[in-house]
Amino acid sequence: MSLDYVISADSHIIEPLDLWEKALGKKWGDKVPRVVDRYDGIPGNYYFFGYDYLDLGVVEPEDAADSTEESSAMDPELADKVNRSNQDPALRLELMEMDGVQAEIVNSTFALLCMRIEHPQLVQDVCRVYNDWIVEYCSHDPKRLLASGMLPPDDVDWAVAELERLAKKDVRTVFIYTDVKPHMPPYRDPYYDRLWAAAADLDIPVTIHIVAGRIRDPFTIIHDHERGDVARLWLELFSDAGPILANEFIFGGIFDRHPKLKLILGEYEICWLPWFLFRTQQLQGAVANSLKVTPVKKSVQEYLHTQVWHSFVDDKFADRAFDVAGATQVMWGSDFPHPRNTFPHSHEVLNRVLANVDDETRANVVGLNCARLFNMEVPAPARAAAE
């Protein structure tokens, strides 16, 4: 089926390798994120994120496929364009046209991994440098390239001030830690209420995304002797949002105190949601009294259908979870330009994974839900197609 209006709610960008070294090298020295030629005695081409390391070969473009299938190498000329588009927004727009994508939410790559840095001030500095850079990049065409910002919430005064600064620059969403760090109070603590209130008042959704939490990204594994943990890390990485959503935002009372707050769960797909709903309904049912669960104002599903949005890439079981997630709460994202992204065959992948979905839901999921969430202009024909 033809997909007339497609927006990627979760695309990415590979930051300049010297972005933070240029801006912060004098202040932070060897703690700054940068390219290094050695990891634990192993020579190579690595990126140091202030905590983890990555073999830079991992971020080379891959061809599109369902992520349960093997990808093939991208044509070298096209791969070169993909790499150059990280610095050239005009070229990125050309690639979007090739892929049939009208607009993208542009999220970080390296800054996401920098969220695991242990020093709060360094994380703040890294994120502020990134925020200024991504705003400048997306300013080339802000109606088609929508910037997201990074917002470590250790210091709520800093976080609220940065959020207000980014709102003036038309940043559309901000990424917080997936989970708090050991030195921080839990998100349900009133300490963060000013941040949630500011995000709600400014109508800027807060995003929790994979790799911005405590779970190590398995792509950062370099030593062969560590690869025995890949399966565990892979499953944990895509499972770490559910406990935070339930414990902090729903049963922790954040949504009740801030009913206009919008939360995006980025790149977790949605096939896990039926299990999540079943187990959280138990906490409002038979086991609530015995576990002395603090009552909340709504059912879990009501929170899901009004305050939570999800992005997915190629979840082949997505059509089994739309009723749980709410068909207006799910947004497709290409994950461009990462390995497992759908470029340059996004329409083929979407038609495959949404084959059993009705036309209205399909139109909403591939573009209109994202447009409504971020107050984007939608062409009249696209609106009509979903009616």
* Torsion (CA) 145, 149, 150, 151 in degrees, nearest 10: -160
Q: Say what the pLDDT of residue 340 is.
A: 81
The answer to whether residue 381 scores a pLDDT higher than 80 is no
Helix/strand/coil for 259: coil
What's the pLDDT band for 385 if we cut at 50, 70, 90? low
Provide the mean pLDDT of the chain: 94
As a whole number of angstroms, the longest Cα–Cα distance in the chain is: 62
What's the pLDDT band for 1 if we cut at 50, 70, 90? low
Q: What percent of the chain has pLDDT over 70?
A: 96
Q: pLDDT tens digit string along 86-121?
A: 999 999 999 999 999 999 999 999 999 999 999 999
Q: Say what the pLDDT of residue 387 is.
A: 60
CA 145 – CA 149 distance, rounded (Å): 13
Residue range 260-271: mean pLDDT, rounded: 98
What are the DSSP calls for 82-146, one per residue?
HHHHTT-HHHHHHHHHHHT--EEEEE-SHHHHHTT-S-HHHHHHHHHHHHHHHHHHHTTSTTTEE
Is the whole-model pTM more than 0.75?
yes
What's the pLDDT band for 200 if we cut at 50, 70, 90? very high
Residue range 150-179: mean pLDDT, rounded: 98
The answer to whether residue 331 scores a pLDDT higher than 90 is yes
Two tokens, residue 295: 């009552």
Q: Say what the pLDDT of residue 386 is.
A: 59
Residue range 27-33: mean pLDDT, rounded: 98
Q: pLDDT tens digit string along 241-258?
A: 999 999 999 999 999 999
Q: pLDDT tens digit string along 139-156?
A: 999 999 999 999 999 999
The answer to whether residue 361 scores a pLDDT higher than 70 is yes
Which stretches does DSSP call E strand in the chain? 7-12, 34-39, 42-48, 53-55, 103-107, 145-150, 173-175, 206-209, 263-266, 308-312, 330-332
What's the pLDDT band for 317 if we cut at 50, 70, 90? very high
Q: Which of 216, 220, 214 is nearest to 46 (CA)?
A: 220
Dihedrals φ, ψ of 330, to 5°?
A: -110, 135
